[in-house]
Structure 1
Amino acid sequence: YKNFIINSVKRLTKGISDFDYKEITEASKGLIGLGPGLTPAADDFLLGILASLYYMGYYFGSHLESLKKIAGFIIYDLPGRTTFISKIMLKNGMKARFSEPIKDLMLAVVHNTSVQDKCINLLNIGGTSGSDCAAGIVFGGALMTKVKILR
């Protein structure tokens, strides 16, 4: 289970780094719907990545159409793979529509203001949803600083 997740995340990283839509889609297919919760843990993680792509991408001056394509390929194969609620959440994330705690944290990050309270608000969502999303935000942020094609 752990190795499957690690390999899927590595494939997703490579797909985004190489701007390889097929790799992004295949790696995401392995993650969507994975884990416990009304919104499965991996879906929350992917939502965090989407938030980083949009907010940090905008901050870095990335090409918005490229970000939209990547977001679309991350959630390309949703039908039947996850819960109804999670499907709506990920589709909204693809359109850069995020909950207030995610928006507040991302705005604090990109404007270099205090993130502590914003992070706590996000971490308090659900059983693990907030922490899974926060992990995706950190992962996505680290990835955004390294991916040259998005700059």
Structure 2
Amino acid sequence: MADMLRRPGPSRGQKKRSSPMAFWAWIVVPLLIVVAWKVAVLVVLGMLPTLVALIIDRRPEKYAAYCVGGFNLCGLVPWVVKLFVDGQSSVALQHIMTNPFSWLVIYGAAAIGWLVFSWTPELVLRMTAFRDRQEIASLQKRQETLVEEWGPDIIPPRAEEF
């Protein structure tokens, strides 16, 4: 019984295989921190709303982190590009970090991600309900046409109760 409840994974003598993405992350991230630490600082501070979404979302799929992270990254990219274009100087980083407009764009994009994440289920529900009402109206119209053509005897007694 205990074997059935155990999660599938490597046996006791086997090593767990890591993904190539994890391998590259362990190589690229430290290299990025050493080579372009100013970009790393901007990305870490700019992606804080995504980290919060990752921590807050209890679902294993982490849909909030994907949605907020996508929008957050879109708001951050122009400033990262600006930092690269300006030569990754301390003055350029200081200008971006002290500019309220840059933070408004970065965190505003993350806020839009939160809005999309929270409003999408309601929007889908309303669109589905509208489509269902249209389908019911179409079927009722078809039913009336069939009743006119074949007579009221084709409607079962139970269908008349609805």
TM-score calculated relative to the size of structure 2:
0.27
TM-score calculated relative to the size of structure 1:
0.28
Larger helix proportion, structure 1 or 2? 2
Q: Which has the higher contact order (CA 8 A, sep 6+)?
A: 1
